């Protein structure tokens, strides 16, 4: 009789013995250019900002960029509680309120709000993946990133000298059937609202094509794409886009699981585009979280957990390898690129 084991109960322990190097502190000052500290949200309850800053000092994290600044009064509250209270340690981006898109005058109001938010202290504009997946105009039509009705926002960002950090689509597996072939089966069962497969959603390809049409149409606007060009599974494609569009930068947030399973390609990519890649995490700040990122970037360690302590890896059932970046590249990725773009 064959034993039966449910896939969610299968948690194999590696017997591989290889050198390990714990990196407790980043070699050079770090700017976490992709994080979320919404000061008005319940996720921030119990977070002591003084303790957070002390942890940042210990880890050599100079600055955390809060992409969840909101707009209007919420933006002002974010700037007051973070940027103003801890100068240099936090930088806040504003967001767009999409309500009423398509009504007469909406675009002019959105542009005016962006100007006001920047005047109030916002250092950039963050666009969430809702644009393309969920945002609809007043007639119920889905709005894609390259919609002409929002083009003036990107033009205004260029005029104001601020970058636009944009997240479009999600991992390719999120747009595939949730079957035995899906490499993110565990993750999507834990977060069914992240599954975008079906006729009610645009395809991954449609979203990515819209994103890059947007970048091409606005060469004077600095775009920082979230999550390795929003297509971390295909560094060849991302590289082609970076070659084509000099106004295109990207961060590595929430994607060391992808990069670390292709260490040869990832290392070559870091070396070639060292001036246009930003460090980011998109994860709740903690010492272990940052330290595994440092280990990935600084060491040649093999086959280690990208989420230590998790019984089942949160993104996929694989381990990662370090890319042991040289110092001149580490300095740029860790902080110098973000410092330049954000004028820190």
Global confidence as pTM: 0.96
Question: Residue 2 pLDDT more than 80?
Answer: no
Range name among 22-36, 42-56, 245-259, 317-331 with the lowest pLDDT average: 42-56
Instruction: Name the residue among 269, 184, 261, 268 with its Cα closest to residue 229.
Output: 269
Q: What is the mean pLDDT of the chain?
A: 96
Which 3 state secondary structure label does DSSP give 133?
helix
pLDDT band for position 12 (cuts 50, 70, 90)? confident
266: burial class by Cβ within 10 Å (0-12, 13-18, 19+)? buried
Give 182-187's long-range contacts (Cβ < 8 A, gap of 24+).
183/316, 183/317, 184/315, 184/316, 185/7, 186/8, 186/312, 186/313, 186/314, 186/316, 186/317, 187/314, 187/315, 187/316
Question: Is the Cβ–Cβ distance between 257 and 316 less than 8 Å?
Answer: yes
The CATH code of the domain at 7-342 is 3.20.20.140
Q: What is the CA radius of gyration of the chain?
A: 20
Instruction: Name the residue among 123, 314, 129 with its Cα closest to residue 230.
Output: 129
The string of pLDDT tens digits covering residues 231-288 is 999 999 999 999 999 999 999 999 999 999 999 999 999 999 999 999 999 999 999 9
The string of pLDDT tens digits covering residues 94-151 is 999 999 999 999 999 999 999 999 999 999 999 999 999 999 999 999 999 999 999 9
103: burial class by Cβ within 10 Å (0-12, 13-18, 19+)? exposed
Per-residue model confidence (pLDDT) at position 13: 87
Percent of the chain with pLDDT over 90: 92
Q: So where are the chain's domains?
A: 7-342
């Amino acid at each position: 009789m064959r034993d039966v084991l449910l896939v969610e109960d299968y948690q194999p322990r590696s017997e591989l013995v290889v050198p390990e190097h714990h990196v407790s502190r980043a070699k050079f000052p770090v700017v976490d250019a992709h994080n979320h500290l919404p000061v008005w949200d319940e996720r921030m309850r119990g977070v002591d900002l003084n303790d957070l800053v002390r942890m940042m000092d210990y880890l050599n994290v100079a600055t955390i960029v809060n992409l969840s600044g909101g707009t209007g009064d919420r933006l002002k509250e974010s700037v007051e509680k973070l940027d103003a209270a801890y100068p240099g340690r936090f930088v806040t981006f504003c967001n767009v309120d999409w309500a009423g898109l398509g009504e007469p005058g909406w675009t002019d109001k959105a542009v005016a709000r962006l100007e006001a938010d920047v005047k109030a202290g916002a250092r950039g504009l963050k666009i969430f993946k809702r644009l393309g997946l969920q945002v609809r105009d007043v007639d119920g039509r889905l709005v894609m990133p390259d919609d002409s009705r929002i083009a003036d926002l990107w033009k205004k960002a260029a005029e104001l000298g601020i970058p636009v950090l944009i997240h479009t689509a999600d991992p390719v597996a999120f747009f595939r059937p949730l079957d035995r072939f899906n490499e993110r089966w565990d993750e999507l069962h834990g977060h069914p609202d992240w599954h975008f497969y079906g006729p009610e959603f645009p395809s991954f390809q449609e979203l990515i094509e819209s994103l890059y049409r947007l970048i091409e149409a606005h060469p004077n606007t600095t775009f920082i794409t979230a999550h390795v060009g929003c297509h971390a599974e295909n560094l060849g494609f991302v590289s082609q886009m970076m070659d084509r569009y000099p106004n295109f930068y990207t961060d590595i947030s929430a994607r060391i699981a992808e990069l670390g399973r292709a260490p040869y390609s990832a290392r070559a990519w870091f070396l070639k585009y060292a001036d246009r890649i930003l460090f980011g995490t998109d994860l709740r700040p903690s010492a272990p979280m940052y330290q595994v990122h440092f280990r990935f970037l600084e060491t040649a360690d093999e086959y280690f957990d990208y989420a230590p302590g998790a019984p089942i890896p949160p993104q996929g059932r694989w381990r990662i390898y370090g890319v042991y970046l040289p110092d001149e590249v580490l300095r740029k990725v860790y902080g110098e690129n973000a410092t330049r773009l954000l004028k820190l």
